[in-house]
Amino acid sequence: MARSTDEFRLIDNYFKGLTHQSQVAVGIGDDGAIIDSSASTQLVIATDTLVESVHFPASTEAEHIATRALCVNLSDMAAMGAEPKWFTLALTLPAEAAADAWLQGFSRGLAKIANQHNIALIGGDTTAGPLTISITVLGEVPKERGLVRSGAKSGDNIYVSGTLGDGAAALHSIIDKSQTLSPPSSRLIERFYCPQPQIALGIGLRDFASACIDISDGLIADLGHICKASGVSADIYSQQLPIHSELKQQFKQQSLQWATSGGDDYQLCFTVAASKEAEFEAWVATRKLVVTKIGNMGPMAHNQSPVRLDNQTISATSGGYNHFHQKS
Ligand code: ADP
Ligand code: MG
């Protein structure tokens, strides 16, 4: 892989051209695809793959692998404002994982999350090889109510759900071989292996959000995707970022970096027009949802990264996780 080639350029160069067909309302480039399936509903489809030692540590229990794999996929449904309905599972298993005990744990994890969200496993594929779990989730939205990355306007407010930095804190403390960090709390373990997909929030946001994404690669990288898709820039402020007190206390040095660039949080980042702010915040209060305003969108920034933190330009690739980006 050439140094300059990254994951997104690869997709743009080799796959994006294949996305056009009359029923494809949103193709490659968002958290999910939207397909015109009937006169009143659209089908939303998203795929995510988890590879052992890349997306979860090699020692992870089978049940935890399954819950994480399904939660991560459902998070893309939340980002699209979709109601998930069905999923398929492509499982690549090394011989040692194909034991009954492993499969029972894996199946238990899948069932736990599938039952929580009332979704059905409808097919898949099973092969032998290095442990890899690829899930495709299918969901529905009423016609043209899906959330996309491309609708943000200059002046919109930016919000995030829940707290940021937990995913990175969990990962670092789980894999901390030197044992210099505090061991992960049960809250962090839960956040890493069962990152609650924000489905109900996503569905509610159909009435309010101008753009939405889930935070998988880090706030700055993912907000950068909204900026790019919408042709705007973003200003966010570190004082406003929702960081759990546990992180502020135990990971004082790292918590801001993890909240802005850590990834693995699976919270929603979305924009709401300033004219809808009062109505939106009243709706949030009645639902007792945890959302925090972290900044606002501005006009497109030419020749610089689109996201500014405390008025400083931050490069998305300096922080967010990108599979084919090699740091020099
Ligand atoms: P997310 O982080 O929301 O899962 P990704 O960053 O993985 O999204 O992918 C960005 C976009 O590129 C998505 O629309 C995804 O469907 C698309 N994409 C990724 N890999 C491929 C591929 N091999 N072929 C076609 N489309 C792809
Ligand atoms: Mg996503």
pLDDT digits (tens, 9 = 90+) for 258-277: 999 998 999 999 999 999 99
Do 209 and 297 have their domain in common? yes
Tokens encoding 321: 């996780």
How many angstroms is it from 61 CA to the middle of ligand 2? 24
Residue with CA nearest ligand 1 atom 10: 29
Do 231 and 300 have their domain in common? yes
Cα–Cα distance, 96 to 104 (Å, whole number): 14
How many angstroms is it from 26 CA to the middle of ligand 1? 12
CATH number at residue 291: 3.90.650.10
Beta strands 132-142; 41-51: pairing state: antiparallel
Written as one letter, the residue type at 109 is G
Cα–Cα distance, 53 to 311 (Å, whole number): 36
Regions of the chain short of the pLDDT cut 50:
1-5, 325-328
How many angstroms is it from 278 CA to the middle of ligand 1? 34
Instruction: Give a yes or no: residue 98 inside a domain.
Output: yes
Task: Report phi then psi at 296, rounded to 5.
Answer: -150, 155
Q: Is 11 in the pocket of ligand 1 (CB under 6 A)?
A: yes
Query: Counting atoms of ligand 1 from 1, which one is nearest the CA of 76?
Result: 3
Say which residues have a Cβ less than 8 Å from residue 299's Cβ, sequence separation at least 6: 154, 232, 233
Q: Is 264 in the pocket of ligand 1 (CB under 6 A)?
A: no
Residue 97, pLDDT score: 77
Residue 327, pLDDT score: 39
Supply the range of the domain harboring residue 95: 7-142
Which helix H or strand E contains 274, and what residues bound it? none
Best probe residue, ligand 1, of 8, 19, 28, 321 (max atoms within 8 Å of C-beta): 28
How many angstroms is it from 72 CA to the middle of ligand 1? 14
Contact indicator for 229, 150 with CB cutoff of 8 Å? yes
Tokens encoding 7: 């994951």
Do 251 and 300 have their domain in common? yes
Q: What pTM did the predictor assign?
A: 0.92
DSSP 8-state secondary structure symbol assigned to residue 56: B
Q: Is 216 in the pocket of ligand 1 (CB under 6 A)?
A: yes
Residue 215 half-sphere exposure toward CB, CA atoms < 13 A: 32
User: For the sheet containing 33-36, what is the strand order?
Assistant: 24-26, 33-36, 41-51, 132-142, 83-93, 120-128
How many angstroms is it from 216 CA to the middle of ligand 2? 6
End position of a domain, from candidates 110, 142, 174: 142
CATH number at residue 27: 3.30.1330.10
DSSP 8-state secondary structure symbol assigned to residue 176: -
Do 33 and 86 have their domain in common? yes
Going 292 to 30 to 111 to 85, the CA torsion angle's sign is positive
